[in-house]
Each structure stands twice: as structure tokens, then as C-alpha cells.
Amino acid sequence: MTKADELLRGVDLAIAGDWDEAHEIAQRHEGDATADWLHAVLHKIEGDAGNARYWYRRCGKHEVPSNDVVEELQAIRESLKQ
């Protein structure tokens, strides 16, 4: 499985509500901007705003002010398909 495939799986798991497994996938690819973006969104889902901001900074993105995490996860999915 490629890194992109695994991150796509992480997005799907996050959408399905499997935070722990999605988080493990994001952690395995720490340092990759897309994995760090996924990591940021996961901490937003968890309600840990400080940690989410840290990961947004790591991936070079500004935190999306919307609470629509599914929309943001869809954006991550689209970035992985490019």
C-alpha cells in the first residue's frame, strides 16, 4: 500500500468515526504535509484545539475556521488524488 493509499484510508476512517486508527496512520507518516494536515483535523475532531493548531502550523496551513471537518477531510482526499 502506498503512502497516499494509506492516508486515503486514514481519511475514510476519520469520516467513519474511527479516530484511533486514523490517528495511528497520521502518526506513521509524520513530517509529510498531508499526513500532518490529517493529524490537525483529527485533533480538531477530538476537541484538542491547541494540538490541532500545532499540526496546522506543521503542515503549513491555516486552521479552517469551519467546524465542518467532513468537508476538510474531503479536501484532504482530493489533494491525495492529484
Higher-confidence residue of 65 and 28: namely 28
pLDDT at 82: 81
Its domain, for residue 31, covers: 3-81
pLDDT at 63: 78
Neighbours of 39 (CB within 10 A): 26
Which CATH number covers residue 72?
1.25.40
Calculate mean pLDDT across residues 16-44: 97
The tally of domains found in the chain comes to: 1
Calculate mean pLDDT across residues 59-66: 80
| pTM check: above 0.75 | yes
What is the rounded CA–CA span in Å between residue 3 and residue 25? 9
